[in-house]
Structure 1
Amino acid sequence: MIRRLYDRWIHWAANLIQSVQPADGPPPRTLWRFIAWCLKGAWPILALATFISAFTGASEVLTMWLLGEAVDAAATGWAQFWADYWWLVVLSAVTLLILRPLFFGASATFQAVVINPSVFTLTLSRLHRWTLGHAVTFFDNDFAGRLAQKQMQAARSLTEAVVETVNAILFGLASVIGALILVGAVNLWLMPIVIVWFAAYAFFLRVFLPRIRVRSKARAAARAMVTGQVVDTITNIKTVKLFARADHEDEAALEEMANFEKRSVEFGRVSALFRLGLVFLAGTLPIALVGAGIWMGEAGGVTPGDIAAMGSVAIRLAQMTGWISFTLLAIYGHIGEVEDGMHTLTPPHTLVDAPDATELKVDKGEIVFEDVTFGYGRDVGGVEGIRLTVKPGEKLGIVGASGAGKSTLLSLLLRLYDPEKGRVTIDGQDISKVTQESLRAAIGMVTQETAMFNRTARDNIVYGRPEATEDELISAAEKAEAHEFILDMEDHKGRQGYEAHLGERGVKLSGGQRQRIALARAMIKDAPILVLDEATSALDSEVEAAIQEALERAMEGKTVIAIAHRLSTISDMDRIIVLDHGRIAEEGTHDELIARAGLYARFWDRQSGGFAREAAE
């Protein structure tokens, strides 16, 4: 019975805050407004937790008052005590055995079950959602590990700050107010002592806490750099080992660790001085308050019980203000880390949907580049003045030397960047005026650098169409020549076949296996536009020949754009364009371009024996 009631209480408390509700609008760039944005939707529950915490703190003062009353009552003699003060025994029992445990239990539940899990999830989900909305350039310019660390750090620190504020600061504040009332009830002339002491205490906090916040922010930034450096090294561990650069990576990590240690020492220095001053200040209150009470004595109407109560209050206040100060130290440390995370994660999105963006509708699949120019903000690189129409159902091949602008053209089609001049349309719709999700949902893509999640083979293949059936999954894998090797897979936990995990970035697969899973993923998505960026570059000739027929079937009825360095893979395309320094240099079928004897013919000649002929000559 009791167990069921307790479980219901915990279940009710755990669901008080809807921890995955989205935030309204972008995150503000000022600290307190940012905190309000993170916590929006949780404020009523936080107010309730604050109310409970305050009552819990007030119950502490009630116990001190009961102690003073008990001392005075005991001085009357035991017979008189039981006759006149039986109510004191009952009140003490109710307070210590019922009210105080209930308040402390409720406060603990709100801290451990309501605030801690829910506020963390609420904050992290909002930060993560906003981070995912950044353009690709945002991720290109930072460490993946550092960004992940910033999300976790900001969410954890804000949660700790909220918990400490509700369950320590407000608890202590209620105790302090109750103590002032108790001291004033004993003798109003004792209240100035407490007021002056609190003024000195407030001044002490005002001097130290801003310094603690600044140093905490610097320490958080240094810690994130250590994480970013370490994750970057581990992510590329094979390259580190193949190039024998472990010592270099060690030096780079040690440099960041040394900076973190330096910032930690700076934080520790001010923290230690803060604690020293605080302990000294705390010791003055019991001496001043009890000493003044003894000096006043009976002439001031101060009884032994009053002195006992004030002594308890003074010692408790000294302890509590120390506890509050250490808590404030932690809170300001956490606020510094929240502020650091805010500056890193919340810049405005640079690539956003238009306010009136509509869903892309692809009826034919015609793609038009209308005088498109994009140079990554530089004078060289990218593409310039591209005028290109890909007809519905046409198979277009794109070739060119490295840096000619091939990948840039695809990135503009996928709207990973916006053109600096011109526009891109699909079936007459400007892609900057449609939602990014609908645009990318209409395009299937296989890249040279195949992206794999450390999830099951099944999850990786159906990523573009999660609702796909088991038959569709297996059919796509078979067409991509991936079904057989998937069935033979087994991960380190004994999971087999389509349930086996592929490792981070598909590290447990060969390059050819990764590319075949990526092909299966594109096939099962079955989008009206198909983009192939060196889609068979990691396959050996035998496997490439085996899936070429399946790839041709996958291209049926679709508009296809294919980039290839291996020209034999695109020689049968309807049309081929040659990019050179960001411009279209040549255009035509394979036979037409060979007959023209230009750039394409030179590339073809080199790949079909030209090098051997030059050597012989």
Structure 2
Amino acid sequence: MLKSIFSFFENLVPSFPKRNEGTPPKNPIKFILFFTKGLCGFFIAASILNAIIAVGEALFFVCLGLVVDWTSSSSPHNFITQHGTSILVMLLCAGVILPVASVLHSLLIHQTISSNYSSQIRWQLHSYLLNQSLSFFNDEYAGALANKVMQTSVAVRTAVMKLIDVMVHLIVYITTMLIMLSNANISLCLPLAVWLVLYITSLVCFIPQLRKASKLQSEQRSTMVGRIVDSYTNISTVKLFGGHGKEEQYAKNAMDEFRHTEYKALRILTMFDVSVQFMNYTLLITLVMLSLWLWSNYLVTPGAIAIATAIAIRMINMSRWIMWEVGAIFENLGMIYDGIHTVSVPVSVKDPENPVKFEKFTKEIEFSKVSFGYKKSVEIIHDLSLKIKAGEKVGVVGPSGAGKSTLISLLLRFYDVDSGAITIDGVNIKNFTQDDLRSLFSMVSQDSSLMHRTVGENIEYGAKSELQKEDLEEVAIATDSLNFIENLSDYRGGSGFDSVVGDRGVKLSGGQKQRIALARVLVKNSPILILDEATSALDSQSEKYIQENLEKLMLGKTVIAIAHRLSTLKKMDKIVVLDKGQIVESGTHEELLAHNSLYKKLWSLQTDGFLNKFDETQDN
């Protein structure tokens, strides 16, 4: 029964709704409202229930005062006769209406809103960030981004729910109490009214300071987390270079800065706390003395004194609760400000509103007068034009920094060109969705990036559907990787294709990672194959095996190969030589060697093992 009730309320709101279109607003209120669509009705219902509970709690003190007056004016023998009906109504409210309202309020807050609200925000932020361009991720710590997605979702939920619980409850409660006290004697309202004005003044004085301190604290927390994650991510480099001490100091500096921002926020809270306590004690003393004076002059009943004193004590207790809750609200608002600064960034590479559906690659890829720079003031690619026919195998070479990898990034539309156009079969790549465009390409790079998942999950990452074990084994045999895969195991007890490869494939050698990457490419089976320094980081034996697999993989495909090892490009139909972002030469391997060309110089230097030295000379 209970489980069914919980499930009913938990399923009133979807945890993973469709992502809201557009960029999350930078204004905190609009940002919160952006992620609150579909939940407004539940927040209103929770607020109404909260108001009912607040009125009930305030009326409890009124009932207490009435009972005091009734007991002082009635004898025990006729008390029930005179006031039995009123007592019954009080018990009905206290024993039925308030508990029902409290239960419904708890179910809405905890089951319907709490988990689902943060889950919705977390899901939508994650979905939005996945659509960001590579440049966005290059400028941020991965750990800090993940931290901001998590903390922003929780901060929005906490701030909104505390506002509902605190502000609605507080406003309704205080209004009800002031009305009840004024009915007893208007004079009893004066100390509470003065206290309320002073309390609000304190909030107005301290809240802006607290908000500023909370924002700084949240920013510093993200920096601290980012530095710690950076150390863990690059732990092999840290150990290789004996960087333990450096990393300790690197993180310690961030922790120290965070500690100081925390001190600043807590100092403000302490001053706020002291101010509130002073006002509280003044209120209690003033109210007690005023009540006694009014009673001595027959202006109020003992019940009114009981009401006023009980309300004053309740207000004193509530004031500290309000103070800490307001502090928590603004601490969370600081996290929201920090999150907005990072996540509310417009997507720089967008899909078209009316995309062209790509059917089949049959003609050519064309770069037409393309220019691009990561910074507008520095061009990496300048006025470059190039045609690659379907089925053609093209090598791209040049000194370091010539723009080879940038050319591939532009083709894959990781970045948009500054001028010119890139077309496939005559259609500008901006007219395709990014997923459609990239479905045409498979890529093997120098540093094959593997997920911290199982071998099987990594291989089938590019597949349109889940592969059976027989399919995985077939692909592994084709890439000479079945033997080492079968010998893998992990700490969870997984083995073979179910073995986790570690962060970025850290448990595998360079050659093993490349073979997994090749298997993934084989599964995707795209018409265009990109090889970006695919074998440059391997030893000779691994390179030989990978090279043989690559030759099989290239059959029947359009190939674009970037390589420092020029020997791998001999079989290309055409070789394009880049220098300073421009094509300076083009031809077959034999044609380029027949002339006194840059390619010939690169070939000569590489055969003597001096390519790196030449790169440095070119850069200088």
TM-score (norm 1): 0.94
User: Which structure 2 residues correspond to residues 554-565 of structure 1 after superposition, within 5 A?
Assistant: 554-565=553-564
Distance 2:25 2:610 in 1: 60
Q: Where does residue 617 of structure 2 map in the other structure?
A: none
Structure 2 alignment gaps of length 5 or more: 612-620
List per-residue Cα deviations over 1:247-274 (Å, max 9, x = no partner).
Answer: 2222221111121111111111111101
1:608, distance to aligned residue in structure 2 (A):
3.8
* Amino acid paired to 1:7: K
Distance 1:384 1:99 in 2: 75
Choose which of 8, 14, 18 in structure 1 pairs with 2:10.
Answer: 14
List per-residue Cα deviations over 1:389-430 (Å, max 9, x = no partner).
Answer: 001111111112211111011011011111222111111111
Q: Where does residue 333 of structure 2 map in the other structure?
A: 335
* Contact kept in structure 1, 2:54 and 2:169, CA below 8 Å: yes
* Amino acid paired to 2:16: V
List per-residue Cα deviations over 1:348-388 (Å, max 9, x = no partner).
Answer: 22222233333334331511111112122265562222211
* Contact kept in structure 2, 1:365 and 1:558, CA below 8 Å: no
Q: Which moved more, 1:281-290 or 1:53-62?
A: 281-290
Distance 1:284 1:162 in 2: 32
Distance 2:236 2:63 in 1: 70
Structure 1 counterpart SS, 2:362: coil
Q: Where does residue 228 of structure 1 map in the other structure?
A: 226
Q: 1:270 to 1:489 in 2, by over 3 A?
A: same
* Contact kept in structure 2, 1:491 and 1:501, CA below 8 Å: yes
Distance 1:174 1:515 in 2: 66
* Contact kept in structure 1, 2:52 and 2:98, CA below 8 Å: no
* Contact kept in structure 1, 2:475 and 2:519, CA below 8 Å: yes
Structure 2 counterpart SS, 1:377: coil
* Amino acid paired to 1:574: D
Q: Where does residue 516 of structure 1 map in the other structure?
A: 515
Distance 2:461 2:271 in 1: 55
* Contact kept in structure 2, 1:431 and 1:439, CA below 8 Å: yes
Distance 1:610 1:45 in 2: 70
Choose which of 437, 440, 455 in structure 2 pairs with 1:439.
Answer: 437
1:611, distance to aligned residue in structure 2 (A):
6.8
Q: Percent identity?
A: 37
Distance 1:558 1:408 in 2: 22
Q: Which moved more, 1:521-530 or 1:244-253?
A: 244-253
Structure 2 counterpart SS, 1:337: helix
List per-residue Cα deviations over 1:540-567 (Å, max 9, x = no partner).
Answer: 4334433444433322222110111122
Distance 2:502 2:394 in 1: 34
User: Which structure 2 residues correspond to residues 231-270 of structure 1 after superposition, within 5 A?
Assistant: 231-270=229-268
Distance 1:476 1:597 in 2: 44
Structure 2 counterpart SS, 1:79: coil
* Amino acid paired to 1:520: A
Q: Where does residue 207 of structure 1 map in the other structure?
A: 205
* Contact kept in structure 2, 1:446 and 1:533, CA below 8 Å: yes
* Amino acid paired to 1:511: G
Distance 2:434 2:389 in 1: 22
Choose which of 51, 69, 73 in structure 2 pairs with 1:72.
Answer: 69
TM-score (norm 2): 0.93
Q: Where does residue 414 of structure 1 map in the other structure?
A: 412
Q: Where does residue 469 of structure 1 map in the other structure?
A: 467
* Contact kept in structure 2, 1:381 and 1:405, CA below 8 Å: no
* Contact kept in structure 1, 2:533 and 2:563, CA below 8 Å: yes
Choose which of 192, 195, 204 in structure 2 pairs with 1:194.
Answer: 192
Distance 2:476 2:536 in 1: 18
Structure 1 counterpart SS, 2:526: coil
Q: Where does residue 478 of structure 2 map in the other structure?
A: 479
1:300, distance to aligned residue in structure 2 (A):
5.2
Q: Which moved more, 1:294-303 or 1:71-80?
A: 294-303
Distance 1:610 1:529 in 2: 31
Structure 1 counterpart SS, 2:183: helix
Structure 2 counterpart SS, 1:490: coil
* Amino acid paired to 1:325: M
Structure 2 counterpart SS, 1:39: coil
Choose which of 385, 388, 391 in structure 1 pairs with 2:389.
Answer: 391
Structure 1 counterpart SS, 2:35: helix
List per-residue Cα deviations over 1:264-308 (Å, max 9, x = no partner).
Answer: 111111111011111222223333334323222275552112211
* Amino acid paired to 2:524: K
2:80 corresponds to 1:82? yes
Distance 1:404 1:475 in 2: 39
2:53 corresponds to 1:42? no
* Amino acid paired to 1:604: W
Distance 2:446 2:580 in 1: 21
Would you say how many aligned residue pairs link Structure 1 and Structure 2? 608
Structure 1 alignment gaps of length 5 or more: 613-617
Structure 2 counterpart SS, 1:596: coil
* Contact kept in structure 2, 1:424 and 1:430, CA below 8 Å: yes
Q: Where does residue 504 of structure 1 map in the other structure?
A: 503
* Amino acid paired to 2:490: D
* Amino acid paired to 2:327: L
